[in-house]
Chain A
Amino acid sequence: MKKICLVGSPNSGKSTLFNAMTNGNQKVGNFPGVTVNCFSAIVNDASESFELFDLPGIYSLCPYSMEEQITSELLQTQDYDLILQVIDGNHIERGLYLSYQLMIHNQPLLIAINMMDELNQKQLTVDLEGLSNVLGVTCVGISALKKEGISDLSYHLKHALNEQKVTYTKAQLSKNQEDSLLSLDAEESDLEEAIMLIYQRVEMVLKVTLSRNNNATTPSTHIAVDKILTSQWLGLPLFAFMMYFVFWLTFHIGSFFSNIIDALFNLSIMPVTSELLQLIGTQTWLISVIVEGVIAGVGGVLTFLPNILILFLSLAILEDTGYMARVAFMMDRLMSRIGLNGKAIVPLLMGFGCNAPAIMSTRMLENSEDRLIAILINPFMSCGARLPIYVLFSSIFFSQYGTLVTFSLYFLGMLMAILSALCFNGFRSKNKETPFILELPPYRRPGLMVVLNKVLQHALSYLKRAGTVILCASVLLWYLLNYGPAGQAELASSFGRIIGEWISPIFAPLGFGTWQASLSLLTGIVAKEIVISNMAIIFSNANEATLSASSLSALFTPSSAYAFMVFCLLYVPCIAVIGMIRSETNSWKWPLFSILHTFIVAWTSSFFAYRLAEFIAIFV
């Protein structure tokens, strides 16, 4: 099957076009031959089918950040049949600059000029035919967001795929100049000449193909919006308010749906399944596995799907409107205090959703040491999977102060991230600082499909975990709780209790040295949401249909409940995150370091939290 690479600068609408062309039927996959994760999709048409790869955005072929490195290395393999370049019509100069670089690879090229509708509004006209002739590359005008010109693009795509030789007119660069564009440590003079030559050429090309309707001033609404959103006095409060709003949505609206799902499981699915199985004469132990193991465990996780969906939806919207870039702009000063730059705020915020994709998104950071620090502090950003633990415990032990308690945990996580970053900074090599250039794209209405797709991908991976890892863990836990050295056993003499009691002394100084808490924490390393689904299983075994206040109160005091939450917040990242750290740092050293580091931080913080809470409790 023919392979097409979708290339373009960041914010050029590449992903929107990708969605429009593939109708959202995409998967995260590897580009053949190179282990690079990117979205790909097979596009089937009556006459032709091809595979489309959405590569990370680049400004040029020079690899600054890891993301750009991926794209430029991939393009160098030449193991594809066509490059489809997306150009943001508003930044056509920069797009064409990249086009001339792409021509260096001598591979078939097709250009889609996006956001033609915005160009029309600005009264700019591009002579597409003229441009195609000058470049020797077919240029198609589209609006990916409004799905205009997509069929025209597919037509030309098919045509271009069947063309044998490339016909374009390159910028006349010498071999040295061409090479200098592709390498990081190029001869300075060659490089500058090359860049200037290309831009001069682009200017010449645009002189004859781009016409501006006279005295049509460009309405820059985004400056007006920026004046407010990044203003001296309102900028940061608005950001704080927006984050508060996101969490409010996640907690309040999310728990409304969570309660429905919870009720559905506990009041209908569990009893009904149990009765149905009895009707068909299933053995008691099997009913127990299915109802108390599988359904209780998976149900416990599914309950929190709405919270996680809302959080990811909000973050995706903030990112796709262009607001995240402003957040990076506003937070740069603060982030530089901990040795990072403003861009590092994005992975940290994403960590509130899920640390695994957040760690992957550190690829956009140019400096490798920045990136390592951003990876190592990320697990302290409290992910969505830890939220259920806080929601449950704080609602039981701190009733009306629940939200406040939960907030304190999020802040503690951030504090630990900051302290760790400061600590790690001491070990940095004293090399040159990486310059911080951040493009501030115009504010845009996010594409519905693009946003929904992002959310869908996260939801699917969450569900996949519920269906695989968590399902297995639930069954295993059910076994540990229902069987002991002497075969089938009561909870009191089960394997689970033995293991839990064996490790519980570690947690005794923290106030929750019970075997139930210890076992939950141990299995929580598989995935943090399991801490709660385990509690559900442990207590449904004790003949409690739901995790009620009374059953938890028997195990925890408010102080030890708080210490438990602190521990859950900070301790060892889940398997998915450990695996992600392993693959992103390409060594076992850093995941192991992270496990040790987080455990020490968690134990110490939890210890002090417990002592402090006990001390306060004397006076309350």
Chain B
Amino acid sequence: MTLNELPPQEKAIIRSFSCQPPLKRRLMEMGILIGMTIETVGVSPLGDPIEYKTELMHFSLRAIDASYIEIDKLL
């Protein structure tokens, strides 16, 4: 499952990044790391980007960028 498929208010654990180096680096440097719990908060009024939250921060990603992040959904 990828991050863009995670419905609002549901949580998952980041398994891996399959994105290009710049995005991957930016995510990691902002403290979004493999093994972290991530939650979808909501979607922008126009449907994209999507707001996420980790223990460390709130941030938003476009669906296309989020689709490069592999996750394991928490039940």
Which A residues are within 8 Å of any B CB, using their own CB? 59-60, 62, 64, 91, 93-94, 97, 188, 191-192, 195-196, 199, 222-223, 226-227, 230-233, 235-236, 329-330, 332-334, 336, 342, 432, 434-442
Determine the distance from Cα of A188 to Cα of B59 in the docked complex, in whole angstroms: 24
CB distance from B18 to the nearest CB of A (A): 13
Q: Bound state CA distance, A40 and B18, in angstroms?
A: 42
- Asked if residues A436 and B65 are in contact (CB atoms below 8 Å), the reply is yes
How far is it, in angstroms, between the C-alpha of A330 and the C-alpha of B58 when the chains are bound? 15
Partner of A199, one of B19, B31, B60, B62: B31
B74 contact set on A, CB distance < 8 A: none
Nearest chain B residue, comparing its CB with the CB of A232: B45
Contacts of A332 in B (CB 8 A): 44, 46, 48-49, 60, 62
Task: Give the CA-CA distance A438 to B30 in the complex, in Å.
Answer: 10
B56 adjacent to A230 (CB under 8 Å): no
Query: Would you call B71 an interface residue if the criterion is a C-beta within 8 Å of the partner chain's C-beta atoms?
Result: no
The 5 closest A-B pairs by CB, nearest first: A333-B46, A435-B23, A235-B45, A440-B58, A60-B29
With A94-B56, A227-B42 known to touch, is A434 a contact of B22 (CB < 8 Å)?
yes
Q: With A97-B31, A437-B61 in contact, do A342 and B45 touch (Cβ < 8 Å)?
A: no
CA distance A436 to B23 in the complex (A): 8
Residues of chain B within 8 A (CB-CB) of A235 are 44-45
Q: A211 to chain B: closest CB distance in Å?
A: 16
Query: Which of B25, B27, B56 is within 8 Å of A91, CB to CB?
Result: B56
Known: A199-B31, A436-B65. Contact between A94 and B57, CB under 8 A? yes
Q: Is the CB of A223 within 8 A of B41?
A: yes
Residue of B25, B27, B48, B61 near A62 (CB, 8 A) is B25
- Complex interface: chain A residues within 8 A of B62 (CB): 332, 336, 435-436
Kindly list chain A residues whose C-beta atoms are within 8 Å of the C-beta of B27.
437
B45 touches A439 (CB 8 A): no
| CB nearest neighbor in A for B30 | A59
Q: How far is the CB of B56 from chain A (nearest CB, A)?
A: 6
Complex formed: what's the CA distance from A97 to B47 in Å? 33
Are A440 and B45 in contact, with the CB atoms below 8 A? no
The answer to whether B28 touches A330 (Cβ under 8 A) is no
- Report yes or no: B57 in contact with A191, Cβ–Cβ below 8 A: no
User: In angstroms, how far is the closest chain B Cβ from the Cβ of A509?
Assistant: 41
A440, B60: Cβ atoms closer than 8 Å:
yes
- The answer for the CA separation of A60 and B51 in the assembled complex, in Å, is 22
Chain B contact-residue range equals: 20 to 34
* Residues of A contacting B42 in the complex (Cβ-Cβ under 8 angstroms): 226-227, 230-231
**A166 to nearest B CB, angstroms?**
23
A236 to B28, CA, bound (A): 31
Question: Smallest Cβ distance from A155 to chain B, in angstroms?
Answer: 31
Measured CB to CB, the closest approach of chain B to A103, in angstroms, equals 16
- Offer 16 A-B interface pairs, CB within 8 angstroms, sorted by A: A64-B22, A91-B56, A94-B30, A230-B51, A329-B60, A332-B60, A332-B62, A333-B44, A435-B22, A437-B23, A437-B27, A437-B61, A438-B59, A439-B30, A440-B58, A441-B58
In the docked arrangement, what's the CA distance between A192 and B47, Å? 32
Q: Which residues of B from 13 to 37 have beta carbons under 8 Å from A?
A: 19-23, 25-31, 33
Indicate if the CB atoms of A191 and B46 lie closer than 8 Å.
no
Given that A91-B56, A435-B65 are known contacts, is A334 also in contact with B46, CB under 8 Å in the complex? yes
How far, in angstroms, from A512 to B58 measured CA to CA in the complex? 53
Kindly list chain B residues whose C-beta atoms are within 8 Å of the C-beta of A195: 25, 28-29, 33
Once the chains are docked, how many angstroms separate the CA of A330 from the CA of B46? 7
Q: Using A97-B31, A195-B28 as known contacts, say yes or no to A439 and B57 having CB atoms under 8 A apart.
A: yes
The interface residues of chain B lying within 8 Å CB-to-CB of A91 are: 31, 56-57
Minimum C-beta distance from B73 to chain A (A): 21
The answer to whether A333 touches B48, judged by C-beta atoms less than 8 angstroms apart, is: yes
For the complex formed, measure the closest distance between the CB of A546 and the CB atoms of chain B, giving whole angstroms: 46
Query: In the bound complex, what is the Cα–Cα distance between A556 and B62 (angstroms)?
Result: 50
Contact between A62 and B30, CB atoms less than 8 A apart = no
Determine whether the beta carbon of B26 is less than 8 Å from that of A329. Answer: no
Q: Which residue of B lies closest to A233 (CB)?
A: B45
